């Protein structure tokens, strides 16, 4: 690859040879047909491109021939049946034999350099031969034909598509229009979610584009950018487009991808605007090409960004081999045990020869080396014989006991075994090395290599495998087979000095760059490799673990039938490859693979047949030093071990619980190995191990004493802290006495991390009374610490974890807030105030405990503290009324934020003392919750509201806020708050807003609440039924329904929405309509069948029809602290004792110590109190007489 090829000019190469469809209308039909038929230059471009990226045709028979023998015979029978009318089993039911097959497709199959037929694993696609039509009469094909109004064929022409290629799992299919089957090189279409679209201008162009998609990632260097990379550098794609021209190909469509290609010197840039794994990938013929692209794009490269080729075809530049006793590999894979100067010898028996390839004249008929007589060798073109029986040369021989083999200059290999002689043309050049081996209790095998660098493996009891065992650019100079202690192994040496060793059981290989001059190899039973040549002979002592680090894991994975195990999404067949990537991949690749493993084996409250065996293997992965994501692996192991205790895990005996128990036991069985990892050099791993160990409080012997001892000797404060937390978690469940020990760790002499961890551990114990040192430790939690990086904290900091744990222990919260508010430093106090607010929105009893503490801050000199306190107080619901006297002075606070917070808090509880400030602000200084809270003072506020709404509609003084369709944020807040008022006195102003198109949706909702009293608004609302904005149309329809009681017009607008789903707002509106919603029942009833909408639908149907029998099961299931759940509770209040099954759920909502509602935090506490009261009322009704 020395010559630089500029793929920025690839479009020119393409244009010179590919069909010019844009000229079809201007060409005579015969001329265009001849133009299409000129495929030679197109195939030459394919050959050139493949060669440029390192693909070389191996010769011999293709691995994927066009026909298998059986398929060919069946096809001939099918042709005969077509001609004679005889009935035949129709394997080719999807083939229309009347259609011609384009010449280009025939030619492609026969190309001697076809990289698909010789190396199909480069492609992972399935050919369809003969092409099958779509729609497929056999029912096998997945795609449809072309629609009537397609742009590809004319009226009345054949709408079928002839598919000749499919993505590996048939997610996409590629084919040509049946109407163009008569053309030599027709266009290629691809099936997508949008139907058939053009993929390529011809079959020949398609196969070139397919090679461009597949070969560079395999043979070239790769640079990948993630979606996160593009988010961090949003201009990267534009820089690509500006710097590099497109290559002249249509976007590649496959598996939701839509990829455009750009050309650079020795590089191809692929930009996917679809949904592929990587939005931007760069492929280079060498690393230097990628580095140049990176420099051009202004990207700061890291070593991890570059991935080397999967196939290294280049001839290595190595010096002659020179090894002495004691020399060793840098990776510890081998060490020279012995060195001799004598040349290699041919052994009289056993795997032979150790020495060099030979050239022996054929002695004559009957000689074992004779290559011309005896059984014919079947090659790609038929029988193979020597060109000249008397002068052909045997170029390599091998022997192992009764197995003898010889290779010839013509590429043939002949064996004599078990009294039989057989031969095959295995190579596309002279055989240069050969070895035989009788596998004990198994197969007689022959391993042969040729001067073109190819290796072939032949179990002589069977036909040879069509594909090569391996191939490199240099000639093969020596091969060997043997059985070291690890099992059957092969070795091969190439002329450029590379030696490759295979472990046959696992398929793993290792490359040793020993040097040139090698002429012979031998694998010893003692685990040695003897290397001979002109330099003499050296014996290398091999380390299997270093040679094949993946071997043990591969074999371990092969012990399980993963395809037969169910995972979260289908079978677990892909898990072995992903686990291997987790174990040995680079960090980014390993994290992505682990994400896929997690998705396959873990769900909250669920376990799968694949979970336990995968967890057992992942434990070995976590212990392996090669894994770069061990902390993440340990995190997953902790998750799967804890599934058994998940809140979502079904109770009682069940298949899911049995699977979860098996997973728990699989992880616990390896606790001794996990304890060994507490000596790992990485403190993050040591800390992560503690997280996993915390899942086993019942383990014997107990883990707490072991961990306490480890804490004493741990040098990393983060890891020590993680172990301390683990002790608390274990002791919580096991009851072991650790309080005194943990209390001692709160002392100042211990590290900041250990003190925080001790506080966390004590919180885990849920004590009735906490030690005095807990609050000071908690108050320090805001400092950065080594604990923040530990697995215990996840995405949180140690402080955030501490606060979240306190949120489930109110006494600790109160102690912490009291201590934190007294601590020095404004930021510490403000942070403590914020956590007091979080506590109030977590615990129902917290406002009573926290508000007095916050009230003490309202007179603080520092305005930031006063502002924080008044903000949290304003969100505390009705309990704020008790704080009103302390808040009133702050209405005139010099700090505007403090004054606004005090106004908000007082208005929410309807305190009249805030009226002057509220009126003075022109109603522009309060939220919707404040407006709602002041409903009792409507008399005083109505004149000011009229002025505000008049100004907003453009009808009053200072009318500068309104414009058609404009919704000012302040106006929206006021209108939302007025939903809690009787707005009849404001009807003229609301009509003014409606007529001028201001805040139409909110105004319509208010008018709906007035019912018939808003009849004057009906004409304006009807006019809005055809508004361009869907939401306005719907809100107008709802208002009409409420005002008129007639569902006719509203359902014309609302019907399509009602038949699809019921959101919270829609369900509430229909519920409030009561029996007036009955006309919507036929639309709502089908939604009972969808678990996502069944609860809301049941509420509406019960309210409008009174049907208890159909709705009660769904109402029961819907009970929850949600808007729809509250509607269900209101229905159950009416139903009474027949709803007894809801008692536990109602008790939880009415009696829980925790806030149950989910709502914006500004209104969460008030909403939760409403929910609590509704549930209590329903509970009394359901349990009463």
Position 892 pLDDT exceeds 70: yes
In tens, the pLDDT along 157-206 reads 999 999 999 998 788 999 999 999 999 999 999 999 889 999 999 999 99
Position 349 pLDDT exceeds 70: no
Residue pair 567/608 in contact by the 8 Å Cβ criterion: yes
What pLDDT is attached to residue 419? 83
Among candidate residues 522, 538, 468, the one with its CA nearest the CA of residue 356? 522
**Tokens read off for 226:** 């993630």
Strand order in the sheet with 221-225: 252-254, 257-264, 267-272, 280-284, 221-225, 306-307
Position 56 pLDDT exceeds 70: yes
Position 1177 pLDDT exceeds 90: yes
Residue pair 990/950 in contact by the 8 Å Cβ criterion: no
Binning the chain into helix, strand and coil, the percentages to the nearest 5 are: 50, 15, 35
Report the alpha-carbon distance of residue 351 to residue 400 in Å, rounded. Answer: 5
Report the alpha-carbon distance of residue 817 to residue 837 in Å, rounded. Answer: 10
Q: What is the fold of 334-548? A: Methylamine Dehydrogenase; Chain H (2.130.10)
Going 272 to 274 to 276 to 279, the CA torsion angle's sign is positive
> How much is the mean pLDDT over the chain?
85
Q: Is 334-548's fold the same as 831-920's? A: no
pLDDT band for position 312 (cuts 50, 70, 90): low
Helix, strand, or coil (residue 379): strand
Q: Please give the full DSSP string across 451-504, using - where no structure is assigned.
A: TTSEEEEEETTSPPPSS-SEE-SSPEEEEEEE--TTS-EEEEEETTSEEEEEET
Report the alpha-carbon distance of residue 953 to residue 959 in Å, rounded. Answer: 7
Cα distances (angstroms) measured from residue 235 to each of 239, 281, 410? 6, 15, 58
pLDDT band for position 83 (cuts 50, 70, 90): low
Report the alpha-carbon distance of residue 797 to residue 786 in Å, rounded. Answer: 10
Cα distances (angstroms) measured from residue 862 to each of 286, 707, 818, 826, 859? 64, 46, 18, 8, 9
Q: What is the fold of 831-920? A: 1.25.10
Cα distances (angstroms) measured from residue 1012 to each of 583, 1009, 1044? 71, 9, 6
In angstroms, the first-to-last Cα distance of the chain is: 91
What's the mean pLDDT in 1022-1028?
86
In tens, the pLDDT along 125-138 reads 989 999 999 998 87
Among candidate residues 1070, 1020, 1000, the one with its CA nearest the CA of residue 1041? 1070
In tens, the pLDDT along 552-568 reads 999 999 999 999 999 99
Position 1119 pLDDT exceeds 80: yes
Number of other residues whose CB lies within 10 A of the CB of residue 251: 16
- For the chain, the residue count is 1185
**Which position has the higher pLDDT, 494 or 775?**
494
Burial class for 1049, CB neighbours closer than 10 Å (0-12, 13-18, 19+): middle
Bridge partners for 6 per DSSP = 265
**Which position has the higher pLDDT, 1023 or 86?**
1023
Position 305 pLDDT exceeds 90: no
What pLDDT is attached to residue 61? 76
pLDDT band for position 809 (cuts 50, 70, 90): low
Number of other residues whose CB lies within 10 A of the CB of residue 981: 20
Number of other residues whose CB lies within 10 A of the CB of residue 646: 15
Report the alpha-carbon distance of residue 1135 to residue 523 in Å, rounded. Answer: 84
Q: What percent of the chain has pLDDT over 90?
A: 54
Report the alpha-carbon distance of residue 363 to residue 391 in Å, rounded. Answer: 9
- Using H for helix, E for strand and C for coil, what is the string for 689-757? HHHHHCCCCCCCCCCHHHHHHHHHHCCCHHHHHHHHHHHHHHHHHHCCCCHHHHHHCCCCCCCHHHHHH
Position 591 pLDDT exceeds 50: yes
pLDDT band for position 342 (cuts 50, 70, 90): low
What's the mean pLDDT in 777-790?
72
In tens, the pLDDT along 672-684 reads 999 999 999 999 9
In tens, the pLDDT along 460-506 reads 888 887 677 888 878 999 999 998 999 999 999 999 999 999 999 99
Among 46-55, 87-96, 366-375, 744-753, which stretch is predicted with the lowest mean pLDDT?
A: 366-375
Report the alpha-carbon distance of residue 335 to residue 543 in Å, rounded. Answer: 9
Bridge partners for 258 per DSSP = 253
Spell out the residues 6+ positions from residue 982 whose beta carbon is closer than 8 angstroms to its own: 938
Fill in the DSSP letter of residue 1168: H
What pLDDT is attached to residue 362? 29
Report the alpha-carbon distance of residue 662 to residue 659 in Å, rounded. Answer: 5
What pLDDT is attached to residue 373? 30
What region does 441 belong to: left with phi over 0, alpha with psi -120 to 50, or beta?
left
What pLDDT is attached to residue 344? 54
Position 277 pLDDT exceeds 60: yes
pLDDT band for position 11 (cuts 50, 70, 90): very high
Indicate the domain borders of the chain: 1-314, 334-548, 549-669, 681-806, 831-920, 1059-1185
What pLDDT is attached to residue 831? 82
What pLDDT is attached to residue 953? 59
pLDDT band for position 33 (cuts 50, 70, 90): confident
pLDDT band for position 391 (cuts 50, 70, 90): very low
In tens, the pLDDT along 426-437 reads 887 899 999 998
Residue 195 CA from chain centroid, whole number: 26
């Amino acid at each position: 690859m020395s010559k630089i090829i500029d793929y920025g000019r690839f479009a020119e190469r393409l244009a010179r040879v590919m069909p010019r469809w844009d000229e079809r209308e201007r060409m005579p039909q015969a001329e265009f047909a001849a133009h299409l038929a000129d495929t030679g230059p197109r195939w030459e471009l394919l050959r050139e491109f493949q060669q440029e990226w390192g693909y070389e045709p191996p010769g011999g028979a293709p691995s994927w021939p066009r026909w298998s023998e059986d398929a060919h015979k069946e096809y001939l029978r099918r042709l005969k049946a077509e001609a004679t009318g005889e009935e035949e089993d129709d394997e080719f039911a999807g083939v229309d034999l009347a259609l011609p097959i384009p010449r280009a497709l025939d030619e492609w199959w026969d190309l001697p350099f076809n990289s698909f037929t010789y190396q199909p694993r480069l492609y992972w696609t399935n050919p369809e031969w003969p092409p099958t039509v779509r729609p497929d009469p056999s029912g096998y094909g997945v795609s449809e034909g072309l629609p009537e109004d397609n742009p590809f064929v004319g009226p009345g022409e054949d709408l079928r598509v002839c598919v000749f290629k499919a993505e590996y799992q048939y997610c996409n299919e590629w084919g040509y229009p049946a109407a163009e089957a008569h053309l030599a090189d027709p266009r290629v279409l691809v099936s997508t979610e949008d139907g058939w679209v053009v993929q390529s201008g011809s079959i020949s162009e398609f196969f070139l584009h397919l090679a461009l998609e597949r070969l560079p990632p395999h043979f070239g260097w790769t640079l990948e950018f993630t979606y996160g990379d593009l988010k961090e550098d949003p201009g990267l794609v534009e820089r690509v487009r500006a710097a590099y021209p497109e290559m002249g190909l249509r976007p590649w469509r496959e598996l939701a991808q839509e990829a455009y290609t750009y050309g650079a010197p020795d590089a191809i840039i692929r930009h996917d605007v679809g949904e592929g794994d990587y939005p931007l990938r760069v492929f280079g013929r060498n690393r230097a090409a990628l580095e140049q692209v990176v420099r051009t794009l202004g990207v700061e490269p890291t070593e991890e960004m570059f991935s080397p080729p999967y196939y290294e075809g280049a001839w290595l530049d190595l010096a002659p081999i020179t090894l002495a006793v004691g020399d060793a590999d840098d990776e510890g894979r081998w060490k020279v045990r012995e060195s001799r100067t004598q040349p290699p010898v041919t052994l009289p028996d056993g795997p032979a020869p150790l020495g060099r390839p030979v050239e022996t004249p054929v002695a004559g008929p009957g000689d074992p080396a004779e290559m011309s007589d005896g059984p014919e060798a079947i090659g790609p073109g038929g029988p193979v014989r020597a060109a000249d029986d008397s002068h052909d040369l045997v170029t390599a021989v091998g022997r192992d006991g009764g197995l003898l083999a010889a290779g010839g200059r013509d590429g043939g290999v002949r064996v004599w075994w078990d009294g039989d002689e057989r031969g095959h043309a295995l190579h596309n050049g002279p055989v240069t090395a050969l070895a035989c081996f009788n596998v004990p209790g198994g197969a007689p095998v022959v391993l042969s290599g040729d001067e073109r660098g190819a290796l072939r493996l032949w179990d002589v009891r069977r036909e040879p495998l069509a594909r090569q065992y391996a191939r490199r650019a240099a000639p093969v100079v020596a091969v060997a087979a043997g059985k070291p202690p690890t099992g059957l192994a092969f070795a091969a040496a190439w002329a450029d000095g590379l030696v490759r060793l295979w472990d046959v059981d696992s398929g793993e290989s290792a490359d040793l760059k020993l040097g040139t001059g090698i002429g012979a190899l031998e694998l010893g039973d003692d685990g040695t490799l003897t290397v001979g040549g002109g330099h003499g002979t050296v014996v290398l002592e091999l380390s299997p673990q270093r040679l094949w680090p993946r071997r043990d894991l591969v074999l371990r994975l092969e012990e399980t039938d993963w395809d037969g195990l169910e995972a979260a999404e289908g079978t677990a067949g892909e898990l072995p490859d992903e686990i291997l990537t987790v174990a040995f991949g680079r960090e980014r690749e390993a994290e992505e693979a682990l994400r896929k493993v997690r998705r396959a084996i873990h769900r909250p409250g669920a376990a799968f047949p694949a979970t336990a065996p995968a967890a057992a293997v992942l434990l070995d992965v976590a212990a392996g030093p090669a894994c770069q994501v061990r902390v993440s692996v340990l995190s997953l192991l902790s998750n799967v071990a804890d599934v058994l205790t998940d809140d979502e895990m079904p109770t009682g005996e069940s298949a899911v619980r049995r699977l979860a128990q098996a997973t728990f036991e699989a992880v616990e069985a390896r606790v001794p190995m996990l304890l060994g990892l507490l000596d790992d050099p990485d403190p993050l791993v040591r800390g992560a191990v503690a997280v996993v160990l915390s899942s086993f409080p019942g383990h014997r012997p107990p883990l707490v004493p072991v961990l306490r001892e480890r804490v004493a000797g741990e040098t990393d404060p983060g890891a020590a802290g993680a172990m301390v937390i683990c002790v608390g978690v274990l002791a919580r469940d096991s009851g072991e006495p650790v309080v005194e020990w943990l209390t001692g760790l709160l002392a100042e002499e211990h590290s900041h991390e250990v003190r925080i961890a001790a506080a966390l551990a004590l919180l885990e114990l849920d004590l009735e009374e906490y030690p005095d040192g807990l609050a000071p430790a908690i108050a320090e939690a805001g400092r950065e610490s080594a604990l923040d990086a530990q697995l215990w904290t996840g995405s949180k900091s140690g402080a955030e974890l501490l606060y979240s744990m306190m949120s489930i222990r109110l006494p600790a919260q109160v102690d912490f807030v009291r201590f934190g508010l007294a601590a020095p430093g404004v930021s510490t106090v403000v942070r403590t105030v914020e956590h007091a607010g979080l506590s109030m929105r977590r615990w129902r009893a917290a406002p009573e405990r926290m508000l007095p503490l916050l009230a003490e801050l309202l007179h603080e000199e520092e305005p930031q503290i006063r502002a924080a306190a008044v903000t949290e107080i304003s969100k505390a619901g009705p309990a704020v009324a008790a704080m009103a006297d302390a808040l009133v002075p702050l209405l005139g606070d010099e700090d505007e934020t403090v004054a606004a917070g005090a106004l908000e808090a007082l208005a929410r509880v309807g305190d009249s003392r805030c009226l002057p400030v509220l009126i003075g602000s022109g109603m522009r200084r309060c939220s919707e919750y404040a407006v709602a809270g002041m409903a009792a003072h409507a008399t005083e506020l109505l004149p000011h509201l009229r002025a505000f709404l008049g100004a907003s509609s453009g009808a009053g003084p200072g009318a500068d806020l309104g414009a058609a369709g404009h919704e000012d944020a302040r106006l929206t807040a006021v209108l939302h708050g007025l939903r809690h008022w009787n707005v009849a006195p404001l009807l003229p102003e609301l009509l003014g807003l409606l007529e001028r198109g201001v805040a139409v949706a909110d105004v319509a909702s208010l008018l709906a609440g007035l019912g018939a009293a808003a009849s004057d608004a009906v004409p304006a609302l009807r006019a809005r039924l055809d508004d361009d904005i869907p939401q306005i149309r719907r809100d107008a329809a709802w208002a009409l329904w409420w005002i008129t009681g007639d569902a006719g017009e509203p359902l014309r607008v609302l019907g399509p929405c009602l038949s699809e789903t019921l959101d919270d707002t829609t369900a509430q509106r229909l519920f409030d309509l009561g029996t007036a919603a009955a006309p919507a029942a036929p639309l709502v009833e089908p939604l009972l069948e969808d678990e996502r909408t069944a609860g809301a639908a049941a509420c509406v149907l019960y309210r409008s029809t009174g049907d208890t029998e159909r709705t009660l099961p769904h109402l029961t299931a819907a009970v929850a602290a949600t808007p729809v759940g509250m509607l269900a509770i209101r229905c159950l209040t009416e139903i009474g004792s027949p709803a007894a099954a809801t008692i536990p759920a109602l008790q939880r909502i009415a009696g829980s110590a925790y806030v149950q509602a989910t709502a914006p935090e500004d209104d969460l506490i008030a909403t939760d109190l409403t929910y609590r009261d509704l549930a209590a009322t329903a509970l009394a009704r359901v349990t009463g007489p």
